[in-house]
Amino acid sequence: MVDAAKTLRKSQTDAEKLLWKHLRAKQMEGLKFRRQQPIGNYVIDFICLEKSLVIEVDGGQHADNKKDEERDAWLKLEGFKVLRFWNNEVLTNMKGVLEVIRENCLNHPPLTPPLKGGDSIQPSPLAGEGKGEGALFMPTQKPEEP
- Interval 25-59: pLDDT, tens: 999 999 999 999 999 999 999 999 999 999 999 98
Q: Looking at residues 85-91, what average pLDDT do you find?
A: 96
pLDDT interval class at 65 (50, 70, 90): confident
Run of H or E including 4 = helix 2-10
Which has more pLDDT, 109 or 20? Answer: 20
Determine phi and psi for 86, rounding to 5 degrees. -80, 150
Question: Residues 6, 105: contact at Cβ < 8 Å?
Answer: no
Distance CA 120, CA 10 (A): 30
Tell me the β-bridge partners of 86.
58
User: Is 70 exceeded by the pLDDT of residue 72?
Assistant: yes
User: Is 60 exceeded by the pLDDT of residue 121?
Assistant: no
**CATH number 3.40.960.10 is the correct assignment for the domain at 2-107:** yes
